[in-house]
Structure 1
Amino acid sequence: MNHERHCPATRAFWEDFYRRDARVWSGEPNPLLVRETTGLTAGTALDLGCGEGADAVWLARRGWRVTAVDVSPTALGRAAAHAAASGVADRVDWRQEDLSRSFPAGAYDLVSTQFLHSPVELPTERILRAAAGAVAPGGVLLVVGHAGLPEWVETDPAMRFLSPEEVLDAVGAPSPDWRVVVRDSLRREVSGPEGRSGLRTDHVLKLRRVGDR
């Protein structure tokens, strides 16, 4: 793991976030990742902001060779343990990297960003441009993000929630280089404190780079 290319404040924030609990997330892959990658031919994948590694492990168990990136060593340690317990430790390369400062090299058959939102520094458009540049010819870019947070959650002004149009503009699509396969907005009910409920909208964009794989 690379321990150099990160902003101390960014790392400190996410380390505190993950250290609050023994496990933050469910350990299950994001359903929209499952929906949009089931049926794809396994190849190489880049998982940006991998957290505790559920998406990367799910992909690895289905034959993908995954590079998974996060800024938090605690999250990556849990992710590596998950991969080992699932028998796919040799199929995932865990990398500590702050995407606001640097980006992993290489070209991938799948590049996935799932809910890449942050209350600390995150140049989202620049990261998305880099993500698009990392997709190999014939490969897929999958971007899933919230449209916003439930009404009972106080949103930090620094958090960005890009519209589908803003995502497409950031990656340079539509263009002759990209085919938009899925452009979807899904509303779902979410539960909050004291029995409250509300609706949350998630945007899904799945693009394929034109060219032979």
Structure 2
Amino acid sequence: MSDTPAPVRPADFWEARYRDADRVWSGRPNALLVREAAGLAPGTALDLGCGEGADAVWLASRGWRVTGVDISATALTRAARHAAEAGVADRVTWERHELGRSFPEGTFDLVSAHYLQSPVELDQRAVLRSAARAVAVDGTLLVVLHAGWPSWQTEPPFAHAFPTLEGVLADLDLPDGRWTVETKETVRRESVSPDGTEGFRDDHVWRLRRTR
């Protein structure tokens, strides 16, 4: 008999994360989404790992028709409430998916994937490849991932292999001549620990446009 505990199912982990807190995120859109998408012409958008809906609501408020996707039913309920309060409920559709096992149908003018990193099972490479396939011609793929732990994190809370700028491009395995890299950089932002320690955290940003 093994004493090794059974792995936590991703759906159970994330549902508990949202259910056990009144709010997990700030309710504001991710700053790098605002920076990278503000100049794009509105169309259809797919927000992968939408959480409580701040990014999807921001996009909808700027004229996009958005499909928001998350693994947690509680998160999606909160996201729908946020959209209704913001007056954009008619511009957002919510779908529950365990990314890596299921994925929304169709193609989109913008596919946004922010911080698809998890302490439980997640096939990030497969999800990002699916995200790229979901981008329409002349559409945009926007990926933002943490590049490392915050500067104040003295002991990593769990084992995690952080991506590199070139590594994610290689993992996407994009067809030659069909994509243009418009942004590929590391951005440093302020980060404050739960006890108020000030520091920073680096994020990687990729914005790619599908040309054909």
Structures share a fold, TM > 0.5? Answer: yes
Partner of 2:203: 202
Letter in 2 for 1:74: T
Aligned residues: 204
Tell me how large the CA RMSD over aligned residues is.
1.7
Q: Distance in 1 between matches of 2:127 and 2:70?
A: 13
Partner of 1:156: 158
Partner of 2:142: 142
Q: Distance in 1 between matches of 2:64 and 2:185?
A: 25
Letter in 1 for 2:63: G
Q: Distance in 2 between matches of 1:115 and 1:34?
A: 15
Deviating beyond 6 angstroms after TM superposition, the runs of 4 or more aligned structure 1 residues are: none
Per the normalisation by structure 1, the TM-score is 0.91
Per the normalisation by structure 2, the TM-score is 0.91
Is residue 51 of structure 2 the alignment partner of residue 41 of structure 1? no
Partner of 1:20: 20
1:20-169 → structure 2 map (5 Å cutoff): 20-150=20-150, 151-152=153-154, 154-157=156-159, 159-169=160-170
Q: Distance in 2 between matches of 1:44 and 1:78?
A: 22
**Deviation of 1:11 (Å):** 1.2
Letter in 1 for 2:204: H
Partner of 1:180: 181
Q: Distance in 1 between matches of 2:165 and 2:129?
A: 14
Question: SS of the residue aligned with 2:23?
Answer: coil
Cα deviation, 1:133-183, whole Å, max 9, x if unaligned, reads 0000000000001011222353322x4422111211122248311100011
Runs (5+) with no aligned partner, structure 1? 1-7
Partner of 1:4: none
Question: SS of the residue aligned with 1:22?
Answer: coil
Runs (5+) with no aligned partner, structure 2? 1-7
Letter in 1 for 2:210: R
